């Protein structure tokens, strides 16, 4: 019986929040407590993911600490002390050989030249394993560190992002692949005919170029996108090659998958040029009971202040502290939507209305997985579910969020990966050496080279 997608294998990414994805991960006795600033920790978990043949590891970023009630924040260390990803990833490149190294960089508080240069450098240092998650900044406090009193509105920041990415891609093409001849005989280092000035003048940026880095080994580092709103989807269809998205049911994942791939036609892009990788907060044990015990332990450690703070954050700063934790979610005024990530906000409001969840139940669900889908079970139960979503064209792969680190990743690699491999759903060895080769993505031609 053809189960669908025979011969195809899924893509897997590992999302490394420093101590793990669960908001109380750091309270697990085996979690690396100083993870955010512990290089050995990152080296070990990245090597573990590489042993598990993951396509990529990914670190998120913000250019600000989180703001809010300090009493709550002091019980929740995430993103208060952690490495700058573009300093961390080149160091990880030196201790790994195949795994893709992907990080967020914001288009709202950077200049395209800086970003083009850093990711091109990472691509060279890693031998073609760099990936950039293009975000427009979900932490509204970033504005205060960059001369602004208010974050850009949702659509305005996507507008800037589109031009930003066009400029970065243009800068990556500054040099033809074979521009650097480095020929001692003719005493010629580069061929001037193979150098290109971008001369971009747009609404947001004016960038002459060229970039002071040779064309990256992958041509362009792989572009990821993680917004699922209407404009987020449009932007993804336009340039993303990997999409991270919270999807909670197979039906919604299939709708998202079809919608996104359908939108790509407009931009003359084939559907296989973009891999949809919804988040998966998989908690695995040797038995279902073991997995449930782990989940229950982490859930029991969510401090109500932290739960409320996390929720309020997702609701554009709406203060919930005066409301009954065991009562319904109040109406959230529209203006909060403009500041928050619309995708997550709408999911939360939908849970509240459709499933009649209380504030406490919502934050417990959200805190466990940061809005991603949670799956708790034995290795075969987890693999069954992943297989169903993959074969059912809901996904091309998953972005796995380990609940706590390193334990949650160790367990997944030891228990779930072999199960997926034995079903022929996941690779036993890397197909190539670059992230593009492993993800089955074409190497982009330079805009200056005709066929």
Ligand X SMILES: Cc1cc2nc3c(=O)[nH]c(=O)nc-3n(C[C@H](O)[C@H](O)[C@H](O)COP(=O)(O)O)c2cc1C
Which residues lie near ligand X (CB under 6 A)? 60-62, 104, 106, 133, 135-139, 226-229, 232, 244-246, 279, 341-343, 399
Q: Residue 263 or residue 423: which is nearer to ligand X going by CB?
A: 263
Contacts of 250 (CB under 8 A, 6+ apart): 388, 389, 392, 394
Give SS3 for 114: helix
Minimum gap (Å) between residue 235 Cβ and ligand X: 8
Minimum gap (Å) between residue 98 Cβ and ligand X: 22
Q: Residue 9 or residue 137: which is nearer to ligand X going by CB?
A: 137
Minimum gap (Å) between residue 174 Cβ and ligand X: 27
In DSSP notation, 115-169 reads: HHHHHHHHHHHHTS-EEEEEE--S-GGGGGGTT-SSPPPHHHHHHHHHHHHHHHH
Q: Residue 61 or residue 411: which is nearer to ligand X going by CB?
A: 61
Minimum gap (Å) between residue 66 Cβ and ligand X: 11
Is the Cβ–Cβ distance between 19 and 393 less than 8 Å?
no
Name the residue among 13, 103, 106 with its Cα closest to residue 52.
13
* Distance set, CA 332 to CA 326, 329, 348, 352, 353 (Å): 17, 8, 11, 11, 12
- What backbone torsions phi and psi does residue 40 show, to the nearest 5 degrees? -55, -40
Minimum gap (Å) between residue 133 Cβ and ligand X: 6
Q: Residue 339 or residue 383: which is nearer to ligand X going by CB?
A: 339
Q: Residue 398 or residue 426: which is nearer to ligand X going by CB?
A: 398
Minimum gap (Å) between residue 272 Cβ and ligand X: 21
Contacts of 103 (CB under 8 A, 6+ apart): 58, 59, 60, 61, 85, 86, 88, 89, 131, 132, 133
Minimum gap (Å) between residue 386 Cβ and ligand X: 17
Q: Which residue has the tokens 């650097």?
A: 180
Q: Residue 344 or residue 378: which is nearer to ligand X going by CB?
A: 344
Q: Residue 196 or residue 370: which is nearer to ligand X going by CB?
A: 370
Pairing mode of beta strands 200-201, 242-245: unpaired
């Amino acid at each position: 019986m053809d189960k669908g997608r025979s011969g195809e294998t899924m893509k897997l990414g590992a999302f490394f929040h420093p101590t793990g994805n669960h908001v109380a991960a750091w309270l697990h006795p085996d979690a690396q407590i100083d993870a955010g600033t512990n290089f050995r920790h990152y080296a070990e978990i990245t090597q573990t993911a590489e042993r598990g043949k993951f396509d990529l590891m990914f670190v998120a970023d913000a250019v600000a600490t989180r703001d809010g009630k300090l009493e709550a924040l002091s019980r929740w260390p995430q993103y208060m002390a952690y490495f700058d990803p573009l300093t961390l990833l080149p160091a990880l490149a030196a201790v790994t050989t195949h795994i893709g190294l992907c990080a967020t960089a914001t288009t709202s508080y950077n200049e395209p030249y800086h970003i083009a240069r850093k990711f091109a450098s990472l691509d060279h240092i890693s031998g073609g394993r760099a990936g950039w998650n293009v975000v427009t900044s979900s932490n509204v406090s970033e504005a205060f560190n960059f001369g602004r009193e208010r974050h850009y509105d949702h659509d305005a920041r996507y507008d800037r992002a589109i031009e930003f990415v066009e400029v970065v891609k243009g800068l990556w093409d500054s040099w033809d692949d074979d521009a650097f001849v480095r020929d001692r005989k003719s005493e010629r280092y580069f061929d001037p005919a193979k150098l290109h000035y971008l001369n971009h003048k747009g609404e947001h940026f004016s960038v002459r170029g060229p970039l002071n880095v040779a064309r990256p080994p992958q041509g362009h580092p792989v572009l990821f996108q993680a917004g699922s709103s209407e404009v987020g989807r449009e932007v993804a269809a336009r340039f993303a090659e990997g999409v991270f998205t919270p999807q909670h049911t197979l039906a919604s994942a299939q709708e998202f998958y079809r919608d996104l791939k359908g939108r790509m036609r407009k931009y003359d892009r084939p559907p296989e040029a973009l891999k949809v990788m919804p988040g998966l907060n998989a908690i695995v044990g040797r038995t279902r009971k073991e997995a449930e015990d782990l989940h229950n332990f982490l859930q029991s450690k969510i401090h109500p202040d932290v739960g409320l703070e996390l929720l309020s954050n997702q609701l554009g700063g709406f203060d919930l502290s005066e409301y009954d934790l065991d009562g319904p979610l109040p109406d959230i005024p529209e203006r909060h939507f403009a500041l928050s990530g619309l995708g997550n906000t709408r999911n939360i409001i939908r849970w509240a209305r459709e499933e009649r969840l209380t504030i406490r139940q919502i934050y417990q669900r959200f805190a466990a997985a940061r809005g991603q889908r949670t799956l708790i079970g034995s290795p075969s139960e987890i693999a069954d579910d992943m297989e169903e979503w993959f074969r059912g064209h809901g996904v091309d792969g998953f972005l796995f969020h380990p609940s706590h680190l390193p334990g949650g990743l160790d367990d997944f690699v030891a228990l779930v990966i072999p199960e997926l491999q034995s079903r022929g759903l996941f690779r036993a060895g890397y197909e190539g050496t670059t992230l593009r080769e492993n993800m089955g993505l074409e190497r982009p031609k330079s805009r200056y080279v005709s066929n």
